[in-house]
Amino acid sequence: MIHLKEISIKQLICLVIFTQVGAKVLTIPYEESRNSGYDSWMSVLLGGVIAQLVILIVYLLGKRYEDRPFPQYVTEITGKPLGLLLNVLFALYFIESSLMVLVTYANFINRWVLFKTPWFVIIALMAATAAYIASSSLRSIAVITETCILMFTICFVIVCISGLGKGDWLHFAPVGSHGLGPIIKDAIPAFWAYAGYERLLYFSPFVKRHSNKEILIGMSIANGFTTFFYVLISAIVLYNFSEPQLDLVTEPMVFILRQFKWPMVQNLDILFMVIWLSMTLVTIYVYLFMSARFLASTLGRKLGNHALLVWILAFVCFAIGVWFSDRQTLLEFADYHNKASTLIIAGVPTILLLVSLARGKAGIR
């Protein structure tokens, strides 16, 4: 049986940060510079601001039903049939998100590190590891995630050191030369990179706090740090690459790490990707956990079936992920996933909050 014991604000912050960063760290700001070029760091910053606004919406929605997670109160807002449908959609979205991160990072590992390792082996090992952790309780998952702080710190130091290479600060001048329109346009793909805060829909009732404001503060700290981290990576990339190069290099951070020479480490990029695997696994197992919880609520199953659901969902990820070894297929899937993210983690909570407000103040059971 899974016990949904309380987690601390610190653990919530770790869960959100490590879920947000995921595999996107290696590609920023490639997609975010399609229109804004050297101003893409501003698009990344704006994406973080938009994410903060959505966090506020999710917080206000959960605050109205502070004793229950989203799967339990959504039927109270929309009615049982539509509420069950939304639970299924969220469960599908979370398993899709887990699959997206799984195949994306497996693709990086397969192309940059494990060249001769069969694709299905990489997928299987990552899915099995994530499933093993996701089948635990929320408290256990939070504790395991906290231990990843050391790994993240090492990677953070590696990123900062790699940015000391040869570059040109003139790439940042003049600021805003591409205009406001392109910056705003590229803020949309930047916003997709911040996905991870939506777990507050489920975690909120299980966070130990003295007041609800502590949750909002904790979420804001997490999103603020992720924004800072992404802007830092964007600045490092823009410092090292010209705009024509930005159009061609899909994983700029990997090239920077590979070019940086460090006497103690021969291949800094491989070291980084191996350590960063732990961060990626956090994203995968948290999404697996969320998908299983939403699915369990929809099916009316007992909490004791959580582990079984997790392993079934992990096997589904593996079975589907085997077919994503082709990079073009992966890119098409990523495009679809990004559009779905906008609808599920931003559109649906906003609509539900408006409907809840229109129906009057929600009571606590």
Angle at the Cα of 97 from the Cα atoms of 345 and 23, rounded to 5 degrees: 105
Alpha-carbon span 250 to 168, nearest angstrom: 20
Using the 8-state DSSP alphabet, how is residue 207 labeled? Answer: B
- What 8-state DSSP symbol labels residue 12? H
Is the pTM of the predicted complex or chain greater than 0.85?
Answer: yes
> Which H helix or E strand runs over 313?
helix 306-321
Evaluate whether residue 357 is within a structural domain: no
Q: Is residue 1 part of a domain?
A: no
Distance CA 16, CA 141 (A): 12
How do the pLDDT tens digits run along the chain, 365 residues long? 454 568 999 999 999 999 998 888 889 998 888 888 899 999 999 999 999 999 999 999 999 888 888 988 998 899 889 999 999 999 999 999 999 999 999 999 998 888 889 999 999 999 999 999 999 988 999 999 998 999 999 999 888 888 776 777 777 878 887 889 999 999 999 999 998 888 888 888 899 888 888 999 999 999 999 999 999 999 999 998 888 888 888 899 988 888 877 777 677 888 899 899 999 999 999 999 999 999 888 876 555 588 899 999 999 999 999 998 888 888 889 889 988 999 999 999 999 999 999 887 554 44
Is residue 346 a part of any domain in this protein? Answer: no
* Residue at 4 is within a domain: no
48 in a structural domain? yes
Distance between CA atoms of 138 and 3, rounded to whole angstroms? 7
Token pair 């705003």 is at which residue?
Answer: 184
Asked if residue 83 belongs to a domain, the reply is: yes
Give the DSSP letter string of 117-165.
S-HHHHHHHHHHHHHHHHTS-HHHHHHHHHTTHHHHHHHHHHHHHHTTS
Domains of the chain: total: 1
Q: What CATH number is associated with residue 69?
A: 1.20.1740.10
The alpha carbon of residue 180 and the mean position of all alpha carbons in its chain are separated, in whole angstroms, by 27
**In whole angstroms, what is the distance from residue 348 CA to residue 340 CA?**
11
Residue 64 φ then ψ, to 5°:
-75, -15
Its domain, for residue 50, covers: 9-338
CB 236 within 8 A of CB 163: yes
Residue where the block lists tokens 């999710």: 58
Give domain status of residue 310, yes or no.
Answer: yes
The verdict on residue 231 lying in a domain is: yes
